[in-house]
Amino acid sequence: MPVTGFLSHTWAIVAIVIGLLSGALSVLREFQVMYFPPKAESKRVFWGWVRIAFVAAAILLWLDEHSKVKQLYAASGPSIQITTPPAVINSPPQTAYMKGHDPAIVLGSYKLGGNWAVSVQCENTSPTVIAQDAICQDGLRVVKTVRNTFKEPIVDKSAEDAAYLDFRKILDAAAPHRRNYGPGENGLSTVYSQTIDVGLDEAFRKGAKTILFLADFSWKDGAGEHHNEVCSWLQMNPQMFSGPGALAPNNQFVFHYCVEHNGVRK
């Protein structure tokens, strides 16, 4: 029963209703006339049979359409196919990281005719990546201090910047030996100040001068070349000294970070 459109479906239903009333339902109506003649002549009964024929016609037409749709789908298959491409993951290259541990004062080095001596351990902290063509360079500078609002000796930013600029000039002019640092590998170095004379010793004990520790850790890895800067100065106080040219025992030395020149250089 190939039908399409609203009018076609309407005529199809009418045709099925007529067919049912003149076919299968007519037999039932004749049965009613034989056994229940008074009711068979009622208008309500007639229209009841028409409603039954209409419902049956609609069901038969729906079953026919549904069967044709299933046959068409089975013959042609799904009309929409969705293909999901595999995910693309761009992982950044793994990097090494060279850093220095906190600087440590070498007590026995401080004396008249001696030096401030500061030791620092430089390390590749990556657990998996080699720091290639790496070097740990550090230095020590004697700088003047100024007094803050609490009358404590500090190093102002201009002195920090000047000292680091001078340090960088020396690094740029040098041609140091470089090597690879494996994962977790470290090395220890010690840097020294200028010779301590009576005048410098007095300036340190009064807090008029202090030392500035500077470092540059450079290396290469899969992400390129890197530089990690360090800049810090020693907090001076009279209790650090037991007398001229002598540091007091059991000192707790405090280094303060500079305003800039700390961390990976941009």
pLDDT tens for residues 100-129? 999 999 989 999 999 999 999 999 999 999
Q: Is the pLDDT of residue 195 over 60?
A: yes
The answer to whether residue 92 sits within a structural domain is no
- pLDDT band (50, 70, 90) for residue 232: very high
Considering the domain architecture, whether residues 246 and 211 belong to the same structural domain is answered as yes
Q: Tell me what the pLDDT averaged over the chain comes to.
A: 81
Q: What is the average per-residue pLDDT within 199-223? A: 96
Asked whether residue 67 falls in the same domain as residue 107, the answer is no
- Residue 158 in any domain: the answer is yes
Span 13-22, average pLDDT: 53
Long-range contacts formed by 57-65: CB under 8 A, 24+ apart: 57/12, 57/13, 57/16, 57/17, 57/20, 58/13, 60/16, 61/1, 61/3, 61/9, 61/12, 61/13, 61/16, 64/1
Instruction: Between 58 and 257, name the one with better pLDDT.
Output: 257
Q: Which residue, 41, 76, 111, sits at the end of a domain?
A: 76
CA-to-CA separations, 30 to 26, 50, 196, 250, in angstroms, rounded: 6, 15, 134, 123
The range of the structural domain enclosing residue 229 comes to 98-264
Residue 83 inside a domain? The answer is no
pLDDT on residue 135: 93
Do 147 and 48 fall into the same domain? no
Lowest mean pLDDT of 83-87, 162-166, 262-266, name the range: 83-87
Cα gap 218→216, rounded to integer Å: 6
Among 14, 46, 76, the domain-final residue is 76
Q: Same domain for 51 and 121?
A: no
Assess whether 260 and 224 both reside in one domain. yes
The answer on pLDDT for 259 being more than 80 is yes
Domain contains 1: no
pTM score over 0.75:
no
CA-based max dimension of the chain: 142
- Does the structure show a pLDDT above 90 at 25? no
Question: Which band of pLDDT confidence, cut at 50, 70 and 90, is reported for residue 94?
Answer: confident
Report yes or no on 86 lying in a domain: no
Structure confidence at residue 227 as a pLDDT band (50, 70, 90) = very high
For 169-187, write each residue's pLDDT tens digit.
Answer: 988 787 778 999 999 999 9
Please indicate, yes or no, whether residues 71 and 116 belong to a single structural domain of this protein.
no
Q: Is residue 190 part of a domain?
A: yes
Q: Of the candidates 230, 259, 236, which has an alpha carbon nearest to the alpha carbon of residue 157?
A: 259
pLDDT at 176: 78
In a shared domain, residues 22 and 141: no
Which among 190, 15, 203 is positioned nearest to 109, based on CA atoms? 190
Residue 245 has pLDDT above 60, yes or no: yes
| pLDDT score of 157 | 96
Total domains, the chain: 2
Q: What is the pLDDT of residues 53-93, one digit of tens each?
A: 666 666 666 666 666 656 655 555 554 455 556 655 555 67
| 37/122 same-domain check | no
Amino acid 204: pLDDT? 97
Residue 47 and residue 106 in one domain:
no
Mean pLDDT value of segment 226-235: 95
Amino acid at 162: A
CA distances, 261 to each of 236, 258, 265 (Å) = 21, 7, 8
> Do residues 132 and 246 both lie within one domain?
yes
Same domain as 215, residue 154: yes
Please check whether residue 222 lies inside any domain of the structure.
Answer: yes
- Looking at the structure, do residues 72 and 105 belong to the same domain, yes or no? no
Within a domain: residue 147? yes
